A and B are shown apart, each in its own frame.
Chain A
């Protein structure tokens, strides 16, 4: 898997450390007005990825390390969904097929336990959740489960990657907040129905954190086990900085190495939401700076 480059002898040509990791963009597509898809070459990630894992993107020397969920692996390439939020996601949006990303590190975090649960739900309502939804449905089906996939969007123009999920899952539910496509409402509404019918043994979910809070409250009432992805702000992703700390049942855990999925019934969602806001002001400074320069950093 790794190519062996061994420099023989003293005074061999200086090897540029950076060349170790250039990740070529092989595909880029708009998903809707707010989200896009990027496919990059990341052989190490592709070889080892399991549903539940995530990666960290570093666009260039001056970039920020941003955690990302992986939708799927094909050959030595991985696909991720980006939400156009701030500096990094918008800068990458201006890149093209053939450009190289400095680092795509991973797979990181723990894979979800792929075993037979029975009737399993995976629900998502935001970009990262949708990527996880896809990866997990595939994995959970392989483990012999009856998999129910749910996706929620604001409106019909936002919907993706619906076709792929609806054909892969045993049951598929789509909701939009305005009812323009699928069921009007949110996945929690659909899930409530299934819970009432006693049709759910296990729930996984990813996406918007407040929704995950509501979901966890709901499933707790029905005593159905629920694992949710917490997207804490991260830097190294290896357990060295403590930035991603969360408190699960009062005990400190690191999202990067203990998560990113945690038992939703033990998470204090208010705390998680508060920590996500830590760099709000700086994020808008970065965005303004980026806009005012109107150029992106040099890239290969």
Chain B
């Protein structure tokens, strides 16, 4: 069988009727044969534009070649040189706007499925216990990494490989950041995340959980104890709409909803103790990855779900695969509506008042600006409202580190080398962007590690 240049090797997926009942992963993953075939579709372009568009510049051409030759271990080691968590990025990167978006094959048919081959390679290595081997020359200098999301993970791995003594501090009782509490298991199974975290421990990064820097461990203590600090505290604080009715029972921030479902496993209630209440009809406000994760979780909890979005599907900032899955799973997209107020009865959500929108001139993001249509208000019955408007950096940490320079939205200001204004303190990930992607956070973690090494050597 030779590879088809036009069409991808189809990804086997859990049937829709199955998936809406479980939190099992939707794509079932390529078999070895399928991965070899898909990797073999790559044309090995001279200029390999895919590599340029991968934020960490993985040698994609090389690892696809290795997979096509069944050298899975070689492929794994190639990827690992650039990316410590390929099992995760292969699953959650917005490939269509990155590596796959510019793939030459895309001009004649489907782009190479780089993401799925990447996660195949990483899964293969995990199952076969294949690890990257390297020597560590121990150094006595100590670095504290605050947070345990992708930025912190990559920073910690690189510093540890260079021999520094690295201690990771995480506020929650489980490490992983958004990978643990935010992204649901049907997109990112927790054994995948746990494997990456146990790798951290294996190479000698100490993880201290339940440590909230600025609250039960002060920032000054860290400064006294460590030679350098990386701040990867993310942007975990939810934004609310600020409209009437948001106080009602049945209104969740997407963060609360997802923390209940993912971190606390409320979908297994009452086996797990934390409840989540969904009701029959759920409205999710927003249409990004966070909104779609909440919507698809609510479907699995048995609700009828409506995504309420002020633009149209075309502008929705969500991974293409997620949008497709959401529609397959029966989620109703209500386009061009804005929330006016949440309606209640006896303290509980009863519905929502929406106003119709039309698309106007492009705004700063380049997307058409939604403009409310006067007098077009209408209402919709709902039992639950999930607000997925985005997040901002947690003000707890910032309020306890008064000297740290931030924007008025609490985004930490850094230089090109990711150094903050405080000597020896570096930052990366959502804490410096206000919210971006796993792979960008990861890239920044690596870059900060490099700067920290320079700083400690200097």
Which residues on A are within 8 Å of B, measured CB to CB? Answer: 2, 4-12, 14-15, 17, 20-21, 44-45, 48, 58, 62-65, 87-88, 102-103, 105-108, 235-236, 238-243, 245, 247, 252, 257, 271, 274-275, 277-279, 281-283, 285-286, 289-290
Contacts and interface: CB of A to CB of B under 8 A. Distances in A.
Given A243-B253, A289-B270, 16 more contacts: A2-B208, A5-B206, A15-B207, A20-B209, A20-B210, A44-B211, A63-B272, A65-B173, A239-B394, A239-B395, A240-B237, A241-B255, A242-B256, A257-B396, A278-B250, A278-B277
B249 A274 contact: yes
A103 B347 CA distance: 33
B206 A103 contact: no
Interface string B206-242: 1111111001110000000000000000001110100
Interface stretch (B39-47, B118-126, B128-136, B373-381): B128-136
A107 B216 contact: yes
Contacts of A108: 212, 215-216
Contacts of A5: 206
Contact of B347 (A62, A274, A282): A274
B172 A236 contact: yes
- Which 6 A/B pairs are nearest by Cβ-Cβ distance? A282-B275, A7-B204, A64-B273, A289-B270, A242-B253, A241-B256
9 contacts: A7-B201, A10-B204, A11-B202, A11-B203, A12-B202, A62-B271, A240-B237, A241-B255, A286-B273
A7 B206 CA distance: 7
Contacts of B253: 241-243
B255 A45 contact: no
Q: Which of B134, B197, B203, B204 has the most CB of A within 10 A?
A: B204
A2 to B, nearest CB: 7
B394 A10 contact: no
For the complex, would chain B's binding face be called helix, strand, loop or mixed by DSSP majority? loop
Interface in B246-304: 247, 249-250, 252-253, 255-256, 259-260, 263-265, 268-275, 277
Given A241-B238, A242-B253, A252-B240, A103 B277 contact: no
Given A10-B204, A11-B202, A21-B209, A243 B256 contact: yes
B138 interface: yes
Contacts of B50: none
B56 interface: no
Contacts of B62: none
B68 interface: no
Contacts of B271: 62, 289
B305 interface: no
Given A44-B216, A64-B273, A277-B249, A235 B201 contact: no
A278 B207 CA distance: 35
Nearest to B394: A239
A77 to B, nearest CB: 16
B198 interface: yes
Contacts of B217: 44
A103 B272 contact: no
B66 interface: no
B171 interface: yes
Contacts of A277: 249, 347
B427 interface: no
B207 A17 contact: yes
Q: Which of B173, B256, B264 has the most CB of A within 10 A?
A: B173
B259 A240 contact: yes
Contacts of B240: 242, 245, 252
Nearest to B268: A62
Contacts of B347: 274, 277
Nearest to A104: B210
Given A10-B134, A20-B209, A103-B173, A48 B216 contact: yes
Contacts of A281: 277
Contacts of A48: 216
B156 interface: no
A106 B216 contact: yes
A279 B348 CA distance: 12
A275 B247 contact: yes
B175 interface: yes
Given A14-B198, A242-B255, A63 B273 contact: yes
